[in-house]
Structure 1
């Protein structure tokens, strides 16, 4: 009988077992399943890091559960296995065009379901296995949806000449009055139809946000909606609230001034996105998931607990790591007290130390959910902070070279601090707070793309090629030099000595390689969206709705040619820097960042639709922060 993986005895709480086995390897009773790696010229190093040697996993550092699933996928590829195809079940009478049409629609619907609705590992693996599949699904798809969303033509009307907040005259001839400083995203040039904005533009924006939150809950394996209502009705009600809520602000003249501020709309979306988190928390509280008393003890079990003497039939689930033993305060017992069983009802409630103990105890699942909610709130606050940051930057234009670098890297530091906080909350091991690798993958993408989108929008307000050169030189230099240094065993050992990580080197190298793949996605999808939005907004019908990309000569500092040319050159430099970095990682560490990303998506297929939803949501944030709203 072939041996697929060895068993390593130990407990889940054993630190030595956690370091020897993968952080994400499944616990089978008292044993951990650790995959057997292949022999290669670098057998010792690969065995230490868990490197896979198959054609699909060559150069990957997948370990534990990921390695087991990857090995199964590779085995299926070698044997040519594929999901059952019922396209051949047509009757022999169906021939020609009709049969081909049925086969096409059946195959298309199955692929749509297997990749986007109910993702399957084999289907997702095929979808991202080629470079054009990865670029199409993870880069061009979210970028195309974001560009199409912002290019929907708005019903527009001329500004009211009696409006004291705006200067009459054609948009091309308008100039700020003395003592008035126009915001960096431009003065409003036209009136926009409020109802079109609310139901179409803002409606799609909120729908994407709700889908993104729902997909994150799917990764957490928890439904946030009440089971009595179901998902379609619950999300429809929340979508209706998101649309109906701002209507009173527009109807009453006293509050209409709030509708022209982008921050007010984004804050309302923040509250809408927080509703699923609040609903899920409310459901758990109403079901008393925070008490851990969901099952009654049998008569035999009660013999070994205080419930035999107190008459209580509830159970108390032991604390994590206690291995089935109740954590009872020894100081609560008097060794000299006589044995007495109280039949009085008041005495029964007075002598119940176990029940008093359970009221101070929270089950691990509930604590894990609280950490998960905290990570979500940090992520939601990130784009509120980003909107405020963009507003401050745009209100203080123009900037010199030093001010530009200071603004950019202050935002970089802010995003990375929030990213580190979220990464600590989610945890890297299964016994740390949330302990979910797929969630950490998605949040890393979320923060990386949040940082990239605001940097891209900044490119439209750089005044000279020197500013582009300085920003790109610093960005590419830090990427190529610092990333390999951070992946060395010495750097990992220093982090361990400082107490900043408790991971094995193999798990640490896996996360660092994964981050390189995620940065590749964030850079490319944000740059394609930026370039595409400049084209469709500069030449399209929404030019006056987005004066940020107008470049029509009203501002002497910024022009279309400089922005497009310098941005394309910057993108080319980023592609070259990414190729050089992946080559260095492959050379020094024997790890392929592309293979690592592909196998992540195949092992956890739900990552693909969740990543696309997250990218579309963040890209919409970039466009929403620079739109100029003025309703008639």
Structure 2
């Protein structure tokens, strides 16, 4: 694991302590947590980050402020020496340097200098955070499927003639597709992206979920093979084959695959008895600060078991003494503290946050299916559907945000995790709204939804960032953060929303282009736009594409006005804050790319029409 918190011994009168004596660098005994780079002699401010305006306008607080304000990287210490071209260097060496610079240092093991170089320019930042995830999602759905005509008498050939058959909202099947191609190519890449996202989230948590004796490559390969092998018997058994035509069944199986790393990590902690306390004995110096110094009881699980056997206490649930009734509450609290270390409780909260996140897109799939099965809708029904989904996503987002927290001492207390889950929920909301655009049948529906969205964004967001709003939230007990910390989260959410809006709309426009004109048109009847009745009403591909493009332009204008308003009213810059976050926590960049690709795939997977040959 990377050494995030090297500790500097000394007293509070030392120069280093005086320099960093703040709540952002917690004091632990005679040790204060100081970022590693603070130990360097360099003093370039804020990563030398943001050549346009530097770090002005930033409201970074907490540990991130400490890093951003003093992550000293001198001009000759930016790690670029390995990338310099030398005369006579062969092609293989150049290719290796290119891979290291663009793959290893940005995705596999991201470095702050490499991430800083990418995010400080808007075109490279858009390239990795918007265009690349959207392009990968569009390319994935554009891979040509082997297709076969429907058999005579197939109920999907004449949907509605069979009382037991109901055409799903994404359209009746037009062709049969090859099961093995779908399983190993289309679904295989979908599962692999989901596993990458879970792994990157664990990286942010600084925990390896795979067994150390197996290693990551073997473990993820075994899970991937299981994810592809388990559906085969279901497909081969005629009585169960009907399950394979339901998108929700495949998405539910992916939910199980994504939950496996969480279950494996939980089992590893249980096997290592992390839930019982320390596994290894403490040193004599460390024991000074524990009760074992006076009780002669060891601090590890094995030491406590030996002490129990010497005392004749073989029952694992027996205390050292029988407490009086007045002491039972205190003894129970002592027992809970001993048997549930803070690190284990923190991991349980982390698992709960992952569970809520995984359930979100299952709920989204159900929402989309209900809406599509009840088409067509009038303006009021469209607004009710969209904003009921908005409320649902924001409630799940608020629950996950409360679980994760952003400050040390809260449930999980991880700002990077709260950042990535905010992106996940924001993008989940946006993708299902984009899919809805393909079924809006009049300009008035587009205008109504966009007017509500842009107006609420421009008016409500600055209002919630005001000090008065923060005081109301504090009075109601809805936040315990300082105003600077609260404002930081608000401006961060603006940056995340901007990313989610653009990547989701770009993927939506690209997907309807390649699916309407490409070879997979019959596999995605949702984007066919060839119903004669709809064409007569003016509902066609041209209307959907151009109305969506205009909507995107309106969103860009609204985002520009919102940023200008925030900068004028509060003196902070959303782009600066987003770039600082990505540079301070470089693991956010590949994790964001993984989560965006996965959520965009969910949007497309939910509307594919599966009917296997």
- TM bucket normalised to smaller: 0.7 to 0.9
- State the Cα deviation string for residues 396-449 of structure 1 (Å, max 9, x = none): 000000000000000000000000000000012111000000000000000000
Residue 474 (structure 2) pairs with residue 496 (structure 1): yes
Residue 493 (structure 2) pairs with residue 523 (structure 1): no
- 8 A contact 1:33–1:64 mirrored in 2: no
Q: Give the stretch that moved more between structures: 350-359 or 276-285.
A: 350-359
Partner of 2:557: 576
- 8 A contact 2:157–2:174 mirrored in 1: no
Residue 136 (structure 2) pairs with residue 145 (structure 1): yes
Residue 320 (structure 2) pairs with residue 352 (structure 1): yes
Which of 122, 145, 157 is residue 113 of structure 2 equivalent to? 122
- 8 A contact 2:83–2:101 mirrored in 1: no
Cα distance change of structure 1 residues 158 and 293 upon mapping to structure 2, 3 Å threshold? same
1:437-448 mapped onto 2 (5 Å cutoff): 437-448=415-426
Partner of 1:40: none
- State the Cα deviation string for residues 482-530 of structure 1 (Å, max 9, x = none): 0000000110011111111110111101000000000000000000000
Residue 470 of structure 1 and its aligned partner are, at CA, apart by 0.3
TM-score, normalised to structure 2, is: 0.86
Number of equivalences: 566
Partner of 1:188: 173
Residue 109 (structure 2) pairs with residue 131 (structure 1): no
Residue 69 of structure 1 and its aligned partner are, at CA, apart by 2.1
- State the Cα deviation string for residues 13-43 of structure 1 (Å, max 9, x = none): xxxxxxx845xx44454787899xxxxxxxx
Residue 355 (structure 2) pairs with residue 382 (structure 1): no
Residue 65 of structure 1 and its aligned partner are, at CA, apart by 2.2
1:69-84 mapped onto 2 (5 Å cutoff): 69-73=67-71, 75-76=72-73, 79=75, 81-84=77-80
Give me the whole-angstrom Cα distance separating, in 2, the residues matched to 1:577 and 1:30: 51
Residue 257 of structure 1 and its aligned partner are, at CA, apart by 0.6
- State the Cα deviation string for residues 164-190 of structure 1 (Å, max 9, x = none): x2226xxxxxx7549786433110000
- State the Cα deviation string for residues 253-287 of structure 1 (Å, max 9, x = none): 10111111000000000001000000100100111
1:345 partner SS: coil
Cα distance change of structure 1 residues 520 and 305 upon mapping to structure 2, 3 Å threshold? closer
2:274 partner SS: coil
Partner of 1:599: 580
Gaps of 5+ in 1: 10-19, 36-51, 169-174, 317-341
Cα distance change of structure 1 residues 572 and 295 upon mapping to structure 2, 3 Å threshold? same
- State the Cα deviation string for residues 273-329 of structure 1 (Å, max 9, x = none): 00000010010011110111323367898899876897743459xxxxxxxxxxxxx
Cα distance change of structure 1 residues 5 and 569 upon mapping to structure 2, 3 Å threshold? farther
Cα distance change of structure 1 residues 502 and 189 upon mapping to structure 2, 3 Å threshold? same
1:257-272 mapped onto 2 (5 Å cutoff): 257-272=242-257
Give me the whole-angstrom Cα distance separating, in 2, the residues matched to 1:150 and 1:366: 40
Residue 111 of structure 1 and its aligned partner are, at CA, apart by 3.6
Which of 223, 234, 242 is residue 249 of structure 1 equivalent to? 234
Partner of 2:62: 64
Partner of 2:81: 85
Partner of 1:395: 373
Cα distance change of structure 1 residues 235 and 53 upon mapping to structure 2, 3 Å threshold? closer
2:73 partner SS: helix
- 8 A contact 2:174–2:522 mirrored in 1: yes
Residue 85 of structure 1 and its aligned partner are, at CA, apart by 1.2
Give me the whole-angstrom Cα distance separating, in 2, the residues matched to 1:624 and 1:460: 15
- State the Cα deviation string for residues 345-373 of structure 1 (Å, max 9, x = none): 36999771499876433110000000000
Residue 197 of structure 1 and its aligned partner are, at CA, apart by 0.3
Give me the whole-angstrom Cα distance separating, in 1, the residues matched to 2:496 and 2:288: 55
Residue 553 of structure 1 and its aligned partner are, at CA, apart by 2.9
Gaps of 5+ in 2: 1-12, 36-49, 302-308, 323-330
Residue 347 (structure 2) pairs with residue 369 (structure 1): yes
Which of 445, 448, 468 is residue 470 of structure 1 equivalent to? 448
Partner of 1:617: 598
Residue 414 (structure 2) pairs with residue 436 (structure 1): yes
Of structures 1 and 2, the larger Rg is shown by 1
TM-score, normalised to structure 1, is: 0.83
Residue 392 (structure 2) pairs with residue 414 (structure 1): yes
Partner of 1:338: none
